Amino acid sequence: MEEDLLKEKEKLLKEKTVETMEKYSGGIINVKVAQVKLPDGKTSRREVVEHPGAAAVIAEHEQKIPLLLQYRYPTGEALLEIPAGKIDKGEAPEDCARREMLEETGYAVEGKLKLLTKFYTSPGFCDEVIYLYYADEIEKKSDLTGDSEENLHLLMLSREEILSMLKDNRIKDAKTIIGLQWLLNGGW
């Protein structure tokens, strides 16, 4: 697959904004509706959820992987997820990753973070990007987990436990599945 061919095709697919209407402005998300011009000249309507983006960290410490059980109101259930959180205004994604790791697990990232990938969670209607990092060294600093608005329960799980949970679909969060597959498979 030639990179040039891909760029060429991408140009042909581009949709141009005709008009944008703000529909909702909230604490975390904004919603806009755009009228767009398609490559064939027709027009269509696109709903867009704007999100500040997030950073997430997959790590391993003494052969255990930190996961958080967190109640996710939109889903009506508690999910097992890798440490992650929204990027603050002006914050570098890597700083966000370090901050969330410490806030949510009480473990500090020692040394470097490796960016594994950045991806869109749901590009059909949302611009959210998640920066996914690997921390090869973390160290316990505190027993506190979460902030006042988050109710978290930290679990340190073995690779065997996690593999079993992936197979049984007891892990149900996209970023977590991507990070765990990367770790369990020893890379891409």
Residue in the block written with tokens 């095709």: 9
For 144, residues 6+ apart whose C-beta sits below 8 A from its C-beta are: 106
List the structure tokens of 7. 């760029």
C-alpha closest to that of 132 among 80, 186, 175: 175
CB of 15 to its own copies, least distance (A): 5
Angle at 148 between CA 145 and CA 149, to 5 degrees: 105
Q: Which is nearer to its own copies, 6 or 92 (CB)?
A: 6
As a whole number of angstroms, the longest Cα–Cα distance in the chain is: 58
Residue 182 as a binder of its own copies (CB under 8 A): the answer is yes
Within positions 23 to 62, which residues make up the interface with its own copies, using CB under 8 A?
Answer: 23-24, 26-29, 31, 33-34, 36, 38-40, 42, 44-51, 54
Within positions 60 to 99, which residues make up the interface with its own copies, using CB under 8 A?
Answer: 69-79, 81, 86
Region binding its own copies by CB under 8 A among candidate stretches 88-96, 105-113, 121-129, 134-142 = 121-129
How many residues touch its own copies under the rule CB under 8 A: the total is: 84
User: Which one among 107, 128, 133, 135 touches its own copies, defined by CB under 8 A?
Assistant: 128
Q: In angstroms, rounded to a whole number, what is the distance separating the alpha carbons of residues 17 and 43? A: 10
Q: Which is nearer to its own copies, 47 or 110 (CB)?
A: 47
